[in-house]
Structure 1
């Protein structure tokens, strides 16, 4: 499903206009991104949790030449789905 299709479905379900639904969805995504970047955990009941985690530095290898390399530490976003969502 694309974002446009999601906006259409939400607008039909709520009776709101597509324009206001799109604006709300864009605002929601912007706020979630900003808060997760700040290190805040976003928990949405019956849906899931977004949080930023730090992956430690690790060893790897370049498959082209089989030389070992060090993969640097980095921050990634993790989403954990709620148990209620799966039921």
Structure 2
């Protein structure tokens, strides 16, 4: 699902104009970015938790050339799904 499809789905479900949903979604994303940048964990009940974690520096080896390079430390967003979401995913058919 992309941004446009999400906007259309929310607008249809809430019977709101797409312009209002677009603003709401944009504001929500900016709030997420603001809080994650400040190091705050974001928890959405029934969905999961998002938090910023630090990945330590490491040595990477290119498989074809065997050249080793140092990958610097970086911050990444980590997502842990809720038990409700996990259970819903277990119910899906496996292909």
TM-score for the superposition, normalised by structure 2: 0.83
Q: CA deviation digits over 1:29-84, x for unaligned, max 9?
A: 11101110111110111111110000011121133531222211111111111111
Unaligned runs of 5+ in 1: none
Q: How does 1:1-87 map to 2 (within 5 A)?
A: 1-87=1-87
> CA RMSD for the aligned pairs?
1.2
Which stretch has the larger CA shift, 55-64 or 13-22? 55-64
Unaligned runs of 5+ in 2: 88-95
TM-score for the superposition, normalised by structure 1: 0.90
2: CA distance, partners of 1:4 / 1:73? 34
Q: How many pairs were matched up?
A: 87
1: CA distance, partners of 2:74 / 2:12? 40
Runs of 4+ in 1 over 6 A off after TM superposition: none
